[in-house]
Amino acid sequence: MKKYLIFCVIAVFLLSTFPKYKLAAEDGLNEKEYLMAALWQQTSSEYRALCYQAFNVARDRIHMDIIKEWPKPRAVIIDLDETVIFNAKYNATGVIREQEYPKEFYEWIASGDATPIPGAVEFLEFIDEEGYTIFYVTNRRDECTDITLQQILDLELPQANREHLLMRGTDHTKQGRRDKVNEDYAVILYIGDNCVDFLGDYYSGSIEERKNLTDSVQAEWGRKFIILPNPMHGSWKKALYHGVVERLSGEESLKHKASLLEVIE
């Protein structure tokens, strides 16, 4: 009993002083709430395992598809950032300091420092050998088409050319580009890290609307839709501010996000 009381006293002391140490540790960070997300993306074996798992499932689906017959050529539509291209260094830099977007992102693309997502290249080489057409559908702006093309060439991705690289243009939801591909191809798989990589209706939906949409296509996940983990950015962040008219400051934004959490009463 005595040892238990001593432990409780120590625990209460640590909890009471923790906020002070937390603020000191985070002092000077730009995006405090994304620190753990960046660490998880860069350091965890769980992140790598989920990437390998996604591409293993995708490969299994292709094996099942090969024996089928289709009236049109077969294709796979795949996103680039955080699906094929690992931008963890760029993402983490935004936690340490404020970045000038899109200037610094273009510089990052041109730097040649990006690496492939675990399992991505092997999967793309596999479907290329099996005769599938690959379309890289990205929401990168049109002005970075040349450096994006050079990047996927440097990463030695199969079918890396202008015909198979579909940039954003005015199609923010990606749905128009997907529909265009579907006119001439049987799209077997869609692969991405953001729900917008699968259905355009996700782009401007609220949190609940996005959840409901996800539930409505439950049968497609892991079958036609293969999704990779990305805790850093995506349309889910936009949904956090759905219906919020005023521009929120850093502290106000953090409080707003905290208010969306479901906690024990």
* Per-residue pLDDT reduced to its tens digit, 44-66: 999 999 999 999 999 999 999 99
Residue 166: φ, ψ to 5° = -110, 105
Q: In the predicted model, is pLDDT for residue 3 greater than 60?
A: no
Over residues 132-152, the mean pLDDT reads 98
Domain ranges of the chain: 45-259
**Residue 28 confidence class, pLDDT cut points 50, 70, 90:** low
CATH architecture, domain 45-259: 3-Layer(aba) Sandwich (3.40)
Nearest to 166 by CA among 182, 154, 156, 155: 182
Higher pLDDT, residue 95 or 33: 95
Tokens of 49: 């395992």
Which residues partner with 81 through β-bridges? 85
Nearest to 198 by CA among 170, 219, 183: 219
Is residue 54 within 8 A of residue 227, CB to CB? The reply is yes
The helix-helix angle for 35-43 and 88-96 (nearest 10°) equals: 150
Nearest to 37 by CA among 193, 254, 259, 233: 233
Higher pLDDT, residue 115 or 247: 115
The string of pLDDT tens digits covering residues 67-109 is: 999 999 999 999 999 999 999 999 999 999 999 999 999 999 9
Tokens of 245: 């008219």
Lowest mean pLDDT among 138-152, 157-171, 242-256: 242-256
